[in-house]
């Protein structure tokens, strides 16, 4: 047996070259991104408390003792997003190359709107995330207010941004597309890894839909509450 055949790196490369390897990468990175979405929502929902609550939360994240862990999390998320996108594009290309000529009659009865729009909803979600960072982190969309130097007034910045109907509308659209993407990704993740059964797949779809809807409601409630005057 050659050295190449037993080389662990070679085995990993061979595994990734197969469709199941790319699906596994998408599943693992999807779990990481899903965890971030949930954690991000829990942090955002603090806007419904006293202004000091969400501002103290932001100050805690920028604490020097926490900032190192925060950067590790950011780099991990960045790598996960990159791998997720690359694996997704490669899987799409493999599927297209395997069927260069489309079916004369396409049966979408078993497909969902979310699954049929994964390729274009992904880039839109990426654009939404970039806009969101420019808005509330960089301050390139609406000037950011500060309580003190290098201490952002997150509560005031959220209200100032979402008081603009155009920003709120784009945010809500981005969240809806994100949750459609999330819904399909959650249940198809199990299917891609072989956890597919007529008895359990419908339950996985239902569970994924519930999670996606709850996340959509939680995120969309913030700009709606700001525009309605419930959060001041």
Count up the domains in the chain and report the number: 1
Look up residue 139 and give its two tokens: 């301050």
Q: Which residues of the chain carry a pLDDT beneath 50? A: 1-4, 104-111
Contact call for residues 206 and 133 (beta carbons, < 8 A): no
Q: Nearest Cα to 118, choosing from 194, 40, 26? A: 26
Q: What is the model's pTM?
A: 0.78
Contact call for residues 201 and 191 (beta carbons, < 8 A): yes
pLDDT for position 194: 66
Instruction: Look at the chain and count its residues.
Output: 232
pLDDT for position 225: 95
pLDDT for position 222: 95
Question: CA–CA distance from 130 to each of 17, 127, 176, 218 (Å)?
Answer: 30, 5, 16, 20
pLDDT for position 121: 60
CATH code, 188? 1.20.1300
Q: What is the span of the domain harbouring residue 97?
A: 3-228
Q: Which residues pair with 146 in a beta bridge?
A: 152
pLDDT for position 110: 39
């Amino acid at each position: 047996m050659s050295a190449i055949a037993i080389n662990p790196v070679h085995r990993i490369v061979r595994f990734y070259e197969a469709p199941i390897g790319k699906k596994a990468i998408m599943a693992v990175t999807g779990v990481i991104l899903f965890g971030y979405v949930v954690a991000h929502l829990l942090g955002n929902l603090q806007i419904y408390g006293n202004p000091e609550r969400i501002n103290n939360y932001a100050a805690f994240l920028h604490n020097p003792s926490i900032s190192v862990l925060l950067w590790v999390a950011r780099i991990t998320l960045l790598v996960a997003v990159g791998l997720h996108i690359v694996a997704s594009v490669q899987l799409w290309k493999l599927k297209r190359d395997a069927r260069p000529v489309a079916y004369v009659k396409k049966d979408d009865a078993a497909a969902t709107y979310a699954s049929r729009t994964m390729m274009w909803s992904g880039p839109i979600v990426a654009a939404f995330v970039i806009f969101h960072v420019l808005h509330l982190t960089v301050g390139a969309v609406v000037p950011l207010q500060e309580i003190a130097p290098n201490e952002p007034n997150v509560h005031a910045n959220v209200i100032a941004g979402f008081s603009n109907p155009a920003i709120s509308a784009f945010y809500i659209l981005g969240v809806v597309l994100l949750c459609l993407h999330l819904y399909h990704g959650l249940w198809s993740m199990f299917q891609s890894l072989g956890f597919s059964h007529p008895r359990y797949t419908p339950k996985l779809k239902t569970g994924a839909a519930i999670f996606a809807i709850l996340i959509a409601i939680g995120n969309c409630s913030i700009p709606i509450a700001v525009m309605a005057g419930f959060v001041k």
